[in-house]
Every structure is written in structure tokens, then in C-alpha cells.
């Protein structure tokens, strides 16, 4: 490490768990099985090479599922399946979106599927597109395991998708968050005005032959206070429109920036302040464990008597029984509801049937314009994901800008290879619990996004020793599940900021190594790598500096530094027709200990490895698969 280097931890890993994983697999990484040479046969090795389609390749690699791994392993290249992907559309989607999908894959539109039929169909699908009516449960992800790569939610709310299960199964979830904003806001305003002026009730009454002008006297909106609960995309558009109606608008949103509210002329206030001062309350927050039934008996009791409530967000944010009581008692004068806890609600729902309630069947996003826009937005996101692009609307994966991705491409390969090497250096009986990754870089902390690199290191470490397929979506989850703690550290070095990373070091502590020379003076297994001319290189093993290109496989030998060693080992390999592609020797001092790193194209047979071990000057050696 350069003496001028400053050390700054950048990541305090969330991947810290003392809990045992749920799966029946080993709770830590102690199940390294060994053959004669201490290496477990590895079915998941990808012969990764950078190509002209580097960017696309990198993403495909980081999002790869078991299915793709099978295919790439058998064909020994990194290309996606040549067959067209199958995209299941389980709810009505605009024609323009379907056309985008058809350009890439086989599109199957199957509406109103039972949960069982969805599970049956999904096992042969690469992607699923839903709206709010399809429950994408854990069972769906289990049924789609190894094949289903992406779930597209044609809309905003993802409360009908089991995100935890998606992440565990490495399935990307994308949504279409912008195209229906205006439609939802307009519907909110339509309900607000219709409720205030009794439009629905008066219309029904007139159609029933009555003329009740006195009964349907409404309330005015101008000068009244509207509390917008959730000042996101829809909430802020509702606020903007309500101001146009002359309303006094306040908003509550714990995460909204004050300047965004100021720009609309809205004051951000506390939850209690909002609900106690408002004449109208309009709900625009997502349904989450925190917002579930946040409008309940207690909160209704705090509201101004005669308050009016509009909900175009999610039914689940209201305790519907409590709302019926509040309507009966007059605390809530009227409610206008587009969404319900159960959709469709029961025909005899007291809430829907209440005389002071007007209701629509989840129509917020249902304008021609919004449905066209949502269909295109989700189709493009799903096609992009299937093509290997990271989506800007990924819900359960880090979003990495394409230019960052291209720049990091060779480092992604290096990261995975170093992970693979490091884990193979751990001796069979040891469990890995703690891994430290040190990035040496001239870049400032904001200019280096290491999430991708960390995911690929995790992939490299876990895949050789388990059947789990690791990708960008599930890397952190899988590491946590296996009790693996990964911490990251940045060392700022005085080199060119043109390069995102100068070197990556992986340290594994509290384990024994099957190759003692890989253990550094401070007691950890430690290896370093760099990208040279676009190719990953191993540059340090323990305390030995080496330089070997990480292609094919690797033999590391520690020996007494003396003439003729390269020839001796080269001959043994040559006799078995094993081609050496790279060789490098690092030593501590002259004629003492040296470390020889040999890159080989083929896997040496047992005899070749036995003969290498029998060379008197060789004190230890290890064969590592990349």
C-alpha cells in the first residue's frame, strides 16, 4: 500500500447476520468439499471473455439466472439463449406495449388466470407482466425458478409483488412509475369534486326519476384545507391542481424534500397537523408495512368532524371497518374511494354501499393515454432487462448507469475471478464468515459505485461452493443468508482518476488456507488483482507479488528460489499436453522462497499435479479453477 494512501471505510455492510440461513444448505461456507487437490468440481464456470458487446455482457452476467447458467455452461460461451424469450402478460396491456414486446419475444396474453394456472404457466416464461390484479406470490417465483428473469409491473404500486421472494430467486422487478401519474391525479380531483357536490348520488337519484335539489346541496372547495398524504408524483400533481381550485394545501410526507413542496406552494407538516386541520384528506402514499391501516379508529378520532376523505392510493392504508364507523358517527362526512383492501370488494361491502361513499373500481390509471404510456413504459423496461440492460425502474436491484457499467466491465470480470480464486484458497474445514474487499482508486467516493463489484465478488465466492446462482439482484441477500459478512474499504491512491479502480484486494480472515503462502503477514488469506490492457490479472498472493493473466486455470507453487524451476514444471505440464498461457515468479529475496503463478489452458490431470508436488524444491502448490 502506498504510504501516501488514506484509508476510508465506505461500506458498513448490511450483510451481517448471526442468524442461520433458512435453506437446508450449510449455514456458513464450511462445506468446501475436497478432491485430491482440494478443489471441488465446478459446474458453474463461465468462460468469461470481454467482447465488443462488453456492456451487454456484463449486465447479462450480473443478472444471469440458473437457466442461463445451464445454457452458458453447456455451450461454454456467455451468449443468451438463441430462442426467443417467452413473455406472459397476465392483465390487459395497451397494444403499443404488446408490439414492443413482440419485437423481442413470444408474447402470451392470458388474463384471469387462477393462482395455480399462473404457477403452471410461469415455469416456461422468461418474463411476466402484471397490473394490480395479479398476485405475484412466492409460489409464482418458486414455480418460475431458473427461468423467470423479470417481472414487469405495468403501473406504480408493487404491493401485489412479493419483492422479498423475487430478490431471493434473483428475479428483477421493474415498474412503470411515471406514465399514469397525471391520470391518477386527475381521478383524485374528479372524486374530490364529485364527492363535494354529490354528483354520483344526485345522478343516481335523477335516473331513478327523482328531482331532489335540496337533498344534494354540496360543500365548496375554495378556501378549504386539503391535506395531501404522500407528496410523491401523484400527490404533488393533486396538490398543484387543488391550488388551482383555490384550496389551501398542506402535505405530509416524511421523505419529501421541502424545496419540492415549496415549489408547488405547499407546506409540509406532521401527520397529526395534517389530519387535524384538514377539511379534505387525499391519500397518495404507497401501501407498506408502515402505512398499512394508518387511517384507523385512533387517527379518525383526531380528525376535524365532517372531514372528507379521498383514496386513490391503496385500500390497505385505511382500516375499512373503522372508516364505516367514522362515517356512521359523522366524524367522516364523506369518502371517495377508488381502491379497496380486497379488489373487487364484496358485493355487500358496507363501505361501498354506504350512502356517504362514492366509489370507482380502481380506475385511477385508466385513461387511454395513461394505459398507452404505461404499456410502452413497462414493455421497454422488460425488453431492456431481457436484453441485458439494467432498468432505470428496477425496484429490487441497484440502478447502475450504462456508462458506469461500460467503464466497470473489465473490473466486474476481475471481481468475480478474484472471488473464485479467494474461496478456493480456503482449506476444506474452515468456514468463511468475514470478507473484506479493499479498492485502491484515485476516484472520490462519489465517483466509484462498488455495488456491482461487490455483487460479483459475492458471486465468485459463493457459486463455486454451492448450487446457488448469484446475480446482482440477490447477491446481498444470498451472502446474508449464508452468514457471510462483506465489508468494503476504499484506499485513495495518487494515480490516474481515468481508471475507476487501480486494484482490488480480497481478504478472508479467521480461516485456514490450503496454500499457506496465500496468507499475508497480518494473518488473512489475501489476493490482489488489477485490470491490465482490459484483462484481469492476479498481482499479489499473500505477501508475494506476481503478475499472471486470469484466463483458463491457475497453478500456484511456492518453492525455493533456484534456477530451472520454470523449465521443470513447464516440462511436467507439457508432457500432459497442458498449455501454459502465462507464468510469473515473485520472490521475497534472492535464493530464498519464491512463488510461481502459472496460467494453464487445460486442467492438469492427477498425474501432472502429483509430479509437480514431487519436485523437491516445491514446498506447496495448489491448482485453482477460474
Ligand X SMILES: O=C(O)[C@H](O)COP(=O)(O)O
Ligand Y SMILES: NC(=O)c1ccc[n+]([C@@H]2O[C@H](COP(=O)([O-])OP(=O)(O)OC[C@H]3O[C@@H](n4cnc5c(N)ncnc54)[C@H](O)[C@@H]3O)[C@@H](O)[C@H]2O)c1
Q: Does 362 bind ligand Y (CB under 6 A)?
A: yes
Catalytic residue selected from 55, 354, 362, 587: 362
Smaller CB distance to ligand Y: residue 94 or 235? 235
Choose among 386, 461, 452: nearest CA to 421.
Answer: 461
Query: What x/- string results for residues 128 through 167 when contact with ligand Y is judged by CB under 6 A?
Result: ----------------------------xx----------
Supply the minimum distance, in Å, between the C-beta of residue 343 and ligand X: 9
Q: Does 154 bind ligand X (CB under 6 A)?
A: yes
Smaller CB distance to ligand X: residue 154 or 185? 154
Let me know the angle formed at the C-alpha of 529 by 445 and 426, rounded to the nearest 5 degrees: 110
What 8-state DSSP symbol labels residue 464? G
Stretch that binds ligand X, among 232-240, 360-368, 501-509, 522-530 (CB under 6 A): 360-368
3-state helix, strand, coil in the chain (%, to 5): 35, 20, 45
Contact 229, 235 (CB under 8 A): yes
Q: Which does 223 bind (CB under 5 to 8 A by kind): ligand X, ligand Y, none?
A: none
- Closest residue (Cβ) to ligand X? 155
As a whole number of Å, the end-to-end CA separation of the chain is 26
Smaller CB distance to ligand Y: residue 189 or 511? 189
Supply the minimum distance, in Å, between the C-beta of residue 214 and ligand Y: 33
Q: Scan for cell 495448489, then name that residue.
A: 622
Smaller CB distance to ligand X: residue 177 or 552? 177
| 3-state SS assignment for residue 239 | helix
CA distances from 443 to 10, 449, 502, 531, 595 (A): 13, 10, 10, 16, 32
Backbone dihedral region of 523: left (phi > 0), alpha (psi from -120 to 50 degrees) or beta? left
Supply the minimum distance, in Å, between the C-beta of residue 391 and ligand Y: 16
284 is an active site residue: no
Q: Which does 235 bind (CB under 5 to 8 A by kind): ligand X, ligand Y, none?
A: ligand Y
362 is an active site residue: yes
Taking CB under 6 A as the criterion, the residue among 56, 132, 198, 201 binding ligand X is: 132
343 is an active site residue: yes
Stretch that binds ligand Y, among 204-212, 274-282, 287-295, 433-441 (CB under 6 A): 287-295
State the number of binding residues for ligand X (CB under 6 A).
12
Let me know the angle formed at the C-alpha of 383 by 378 and 385, rounded to the nearest 5 degrees: 95
Taking CB under 6 A as the criterion, the residue among 62, 143, 309, 365 binding ligand X is: 365
Q: Which does 252 bind (CB under 5 to 8 A by kind): ligand X, ligand Y, none?
A: ligand Y
Taking CB under 6 A as the criterion, the residue among 152, 155, 419, 483 binding ligand X is: 155
**Cell triple for residue 134?**
395479479
Per DSSP, the residues of 16-77 read ---SPPSSSS-SSS------TTS----TT-------TTHHHHHHHHHH--HHHHHHHHHHTS
280-283 and 6-11 as β-strands: parallel, antiparallel, unpaired?
A: unpaired
The DSSP H or E segment spanning 559 is: strand 553-560
Smaller CB distance to ligand Y: residue 359 or 461? 359
Choose among 148, 87, 29: nearest CA to 466.
Answer: 29
Catalytic residue selected from 314, 490, 537, 587: 314
Q: How far apart are CA 149 and CA 396, in angstroms?
A: 12
Smaller CB distance to ligand Y: residue 246 or 361? 361
Which residues make up the interface to ligand Y (CB under 6 A)? Answer: 156-157, 177, 180-181, 184, 229-235, 252-256, 284-287, 290-291, 312-314, 338-339, 362, 364-365
Which residues make up the interface to ligand X (CB under 6 A)? Answer: 131-133, 154-157, 180, 362, 364-366
Catalytic positions are 314, 343, 362
Amino acid at each position: 500500500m502506498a504510504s501516501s494512501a488514506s484509508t476510508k471505510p465506505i461500506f458498513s455492510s448490511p450483510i451481517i447476520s448471526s442468524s442461520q440461513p433458512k435453506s437446508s444448505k450449510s449455514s456458513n461456507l464450511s462445506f468446501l468439499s475436497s478432491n485430491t487437490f482440494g478443489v471441488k468440481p465446478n459446474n458453474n464456470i463461465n468462460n468469461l471473455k470481454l467482447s465488443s458487446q462488453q456492456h451487454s455482457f456484463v449486465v447479462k452476467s450480473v443478472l444471469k439466472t440458473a437457466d442461463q447458467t445451464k445454457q452458458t455452461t453447456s455451450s461454454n460461451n456467455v451468449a443468451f439463449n438463441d430462442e426467443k424469450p417467452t413473455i406472459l402478460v397476465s392483465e390487459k396491456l395497451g397494444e403499443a406495449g404488446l408490439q414492443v414486446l413482440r419485437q423481442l419475444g413470444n408474447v402470451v396474453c392470458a388474463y384471469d388466470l387462477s393462482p395455480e394456472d399462473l404457477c403452471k404457466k410461469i415455469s416456461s416464461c422468461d418474463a411476466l407482466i402484471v397490473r394490480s390484479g395479479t398476485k405475484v406470490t412466492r409460489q409464482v417465483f418458486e414455480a418460475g425458478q431458473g427461468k423467470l428473469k423479470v417481472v414487469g409491473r405495468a403501473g406504480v404500486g408493487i404491493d401485489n409483488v412479493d419483492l422479498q421472494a423475487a430478490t431471493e430467486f434473483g428475479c428483477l422487478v421493474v415498474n412503470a412509475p411515471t406514465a399514469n401519474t397525471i391520470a391518477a391525479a386527475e381521478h383524485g380531483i374528479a372524486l374530490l369534486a364529485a364527492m363535494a357536490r354529490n354528483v354520483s348520488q344526485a345522478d343516481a337519484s335523477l335516473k331513478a326519476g327523482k328531482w331532489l335539489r335540496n337533498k344534494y346541496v354540496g360543500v365548496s372547495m375554495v378556501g378549504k384545507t386539503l391535506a395531501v398524504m404522500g407528496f410523491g408524483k401523484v400527490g404533488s400533481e393533486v396538490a398543484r391542481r387543488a391550488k388551482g381550485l383555490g384550496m389551501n394545501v398542506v402535505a405530509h410526507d416524511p421523505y419529501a424534500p421541502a424545496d419540492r413542496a415549496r415549489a408547488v406552494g405547499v407546506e409540509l407538516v406532521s401527520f397529526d397537523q395534517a389530519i387535524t386541520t384538514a377539511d379534505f384528506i387525499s391519500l397518495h402514499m404507497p401501501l407498506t408495512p408502515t402505512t398499512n391501516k394508518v387511517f384507523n379508529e385512533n387517527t379518525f378520532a383526531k380528525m376535524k368532524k365532517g372531514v372528507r376523505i379521498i383514496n386513490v392510493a391503496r385500500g390497505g392504508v385505511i382500516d375499512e371497518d373503522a372508516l364505516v364507523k367514522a362515517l356512521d358517527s359523522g366524524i367522516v362526512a364523506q369518502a371517495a374511494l377508488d381502491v379497496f383492501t380486497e379488489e373487487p370488494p364484496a358485493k355487500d361491502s358496507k363501505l361501498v354501499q354506504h350512502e356517504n361513499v362514492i366509489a370507482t373500481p380502481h380506475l385511477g390509471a385508466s385513461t387511454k393515454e395513461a394505459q398507452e404510456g404505461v404499456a410502452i413504459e413497462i414493455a421497454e423496461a422488460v425488453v431492456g432487462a431481457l436484453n441485458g440492460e439494467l432498468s432505470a425502474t428496477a425496484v429490487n436491484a441497484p440502478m447502475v448507469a450504462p456508462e458506469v457499467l461500460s467503464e466497470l466491465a473489465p473490473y466486474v470480470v476481475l471481481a468475480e475471478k478474484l472471488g473464485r480464486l479467494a474461496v478456493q484458497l480456503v482449506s476444506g474445514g474452515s468456514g468463511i464468515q468475514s470478507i473484506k474487499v479493499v479498492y485502491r482508486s484515485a476516484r472520490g467516493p462519489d465517483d466509484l459505485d462498488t455495488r456491482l463489484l461487490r455483487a460479483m465478488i459475492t458471486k465468485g465466492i459463493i457459486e463455486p461452493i454451492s448450487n446457488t446462482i448469484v446475480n446482482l439482484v440477490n447477491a446481498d441477500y444470498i451472502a446474508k443468508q449464508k452468514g457471510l459478512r462483506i465489508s468494503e474499504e476504499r484506499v485513495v491512491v495518487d494515480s490516474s482518476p481515468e481508471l475507476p479502480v487501480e486494484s482490488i484486494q480480497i481478504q478472508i480472515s479467521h480461516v485456514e488456507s490450503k496454500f499457506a503462502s496465500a496468507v499475508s503477514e497480518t494473518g488473512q488469506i489475501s489476493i490482489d488483482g488489477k485490470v491490465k490492457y482490459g484483462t484481469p490479472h492476479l498481482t499479489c498472493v499473500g505477501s508475494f507479488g506476481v503478475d499472471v493473466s486470469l484466463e483458463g486455470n491457475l497453478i500456484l507453487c511456492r518453492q525455493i528460489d533456484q534456477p530451472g524451476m520454470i523449465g521443470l514444471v513447464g516440462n511436467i505440464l507439457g508432457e500432459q499436453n497442458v498449455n501454459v498461457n502465462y507464468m510469473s515468479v515473485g520472490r521475497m529475496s534472492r535464493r530464498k522462497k519464491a512463488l510461481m503463478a502459472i496460467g494453464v489452458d487445460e486442467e492438469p490431470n492427477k498425474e501432472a499435479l502429483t509430479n509437480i508436488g514431487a519436485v523437491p524444491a516445491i514446498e506447496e502448490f495448489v491448482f485453482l479453477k477460474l
